[in-house]
Amino acid sequence: GDSVTQMEGPVTLSEEAFLTINCTYTATGYPSLFWYVQYPGEGLQLLLKATKADDKGSNKGFEATYRKETTSFHLEKGSVQVSDSAVYFCALLNNQGGKLIFGQGTELSVKP
Amino acid sequence: EAGVTQFPSHSVIEKGQTVTLRCDPISGHDNLYWYRRVMGKEIKFLLHFVKESKQDESGMPNNRFLAERTGGTYSTLKVQPAELEDSGVYFCASSQASTGARMNTEAFFGQGTRLTVV
């Protein structure tokens, strides 16, 4: 079945460091790909998405490119801030139904 | 516009008791989903309502879990009797009706209910 694998956390970075959180997927068909973020004490929020191969999703300085050849959707940010500390979830939506398939989440902690 | 609201935010119950979680979706959203995250693991799909009908309940763990969506508005998820392994964070999400064959309308999530069974 469809699945998402993302790098394990926790990830601890200093402010202004470069961030990469790896995400790879297995899916039939042509899924849409997402990154969700959960800030402390809050619900899940959509961070960015890409709906077809080679699309780049971007928001709040974060970017991820849908790579069909490597089945990846890695999340990157050039300079993280303390306020980026959160849990990040990679997810896919297949076209056979409306349910999201999530990875296990990666906790990011950014220190001043 | 109000977002997806879940009640309660936290619940601590003893093994064998019953708990009912509630989700109020965004007004007008036909699709309603329940998900669960067990500590440190992936968020797993439980079930999907379209209006008041269960579209997909393939993720429901067992018959101790019962979900309803009265009149296609709010939804409840009842766990009876609760077991230790039911502990986790239960998320609800809603989205607008899908158009065409591709169901990729954005899902909006609630803040989750943290359930602890002791």
Peptide bond into B8 cis (omega under 30): yes
Neighbouring C-beta atoms of residue B33, cutoff 10 Å: 26
- What is the pLDDT at residue A41? 86
Chain B residues within 8 A of A1 when measuring between CB atoms: none
Neighbouring C-beta atoms of residue A28, cutoff 10 Å: 10
Q: Is B113 on the interface with A (CB under 8 A)?
A: no
Structure tokens at A32: 């849409």
The full length of chain B comes to 118
CB distance B97 to B32 below 8 Å: no
Name the region of A71 (left: φ>0; alpha: ψ -120 to 50; beta: rest).
Answer: left
Chain B residues within 8 A of A33 when measuring between CB atoms: none
Q: Å from B36 to nearest chain A CA?
A: 11
Q: Is A82 helix (H, G, I), strand (E, B) or coil?
A: helix
Indicate the range of A4-8, A62-66, B16-20 predicted with least confidence.
A4-8
For B3, nearest residue in chain A (alpha carbons): A43
Calpha distance B11→B7 (Å, rounded) = 9
Q: Is B55 helix (H, G, I), strand (E, B) or coil?
A: strand
What angle (nearest 5°) sits at the alpha carbon of residue A27, between those of residues A58 and A46?
30
| A42 with B111: Cβ contact below 8 A | yes
- What is the pLDDT at residue A95? 65
Structure tokens at A86: 């959160």
Q: Å from B16 to nearest chain A CA?
A: 28
pLDDT in tens, A90-112: 999 986 557 899 999 999 999 99
- What is the pLDDT at residue B100? 53
Structure tokens at B83: 């077991």
CB distance A37 to A89 below 8 Å: yes
Q: What is the DSSP letter of B72?
A: G
Reading chain B (118 residues) residue by residue, the pLDDT tens digits are 679 999 999 999 999 999 999 999 999 999 999 999 998 789 999 999 999 999 999 999 999 999 999 888 999 999 999 999 999 999 999 998 766 544 457 889 999 999 999 9
Q: Could you tell me which residue, B80 or A42, shows the higher pLDDT?
A: B80
